């Protein structure tokens, strides 16, 4: 895989983080644990531990459920956006390292993707709800599917 492809995937995993902040680290940990992403010998090797997979998958499932609740804060609110920035940076860095690229550049691209995914995902979701005249819950489920499938597709490219 060439460097541009690796860095594009680092940005795209950030976009997944923008959609669902904990889905991206769950699929990155899953990919690292199963050997799709080689993080051995790096500062990010903890992502390949079984404990990381269990923790990230459990909190990601919790996030998928809580996203459907009416009182859930917006992903663009300070707390949600901060989580997307931090976790987008982590996931982007992991993909960059797995693709033998700069961890810092991968983290910056993951952060940019996280912000783009948060604001873009919010706009798309609200516009689809209005345009299709369907419950937010339906679009939220579709967004879950996009985040999970997109994240798995991205990490399986390595």
pTM above 0.85?
Answer: yes
Task: Decide: 10 and 51 in contact? Cβ < 8 Å.
Answer: no
Would you state the pLDDT for residue 70? 85
Residue-by-residue pLDDT tens, the chain, 158 positions: 899 999 999 999 999 999 999 999 999 999 999 999 999 999 999 999 999 999 999 999 999 999 888 888 999 999 999 999 999 999 999 999 999 999 999 999 999 999 999 999 999 999 999 999 999 999 999 999 999 999 999 999 99
**Of all helices (H) and strands (E), which one includes residue 88?**
helix 78-98
Sign of the Cα pseudo-torsion (47, 156, 26, 22, in order) = positive
Would you state the pLDDT for residue 56? 98
Would you state the pLDDT for residue 69? 86
């Amino acid at each position: 895989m060439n460097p541009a492809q690796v860095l594009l995937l680092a940005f795209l995993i950030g976009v997944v983080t923008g959609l669902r902040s904990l889905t991206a680290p769950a699929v990155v940990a899953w990919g690292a644990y199963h050997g799709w992403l080689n993080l051995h010998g790096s500062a990010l090797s903890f992502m390949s531990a079984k404990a990381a997979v269990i923790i990230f998958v459990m909190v990601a499932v919790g996030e998928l459920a809580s996203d459907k609740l009416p009182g859930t804060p917006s992903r663009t609110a300070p707390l949600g956006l901060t989580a997307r920035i931090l976790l987008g940076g982590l996931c982007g860095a992991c993909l960059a390292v797995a693709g033998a690229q700069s961890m810092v550049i991968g983290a910056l691209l993951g952060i940019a993707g996280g912000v783009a995914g948060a604001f873009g995902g919010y706009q798309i979701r609200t516009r689809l709800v209005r345009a299709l005249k369907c419950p937010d819950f339906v679009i939220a489920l579709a967004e879950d599917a996009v985040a999970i499938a997109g994240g798995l597709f991205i990490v399986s490219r390595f």
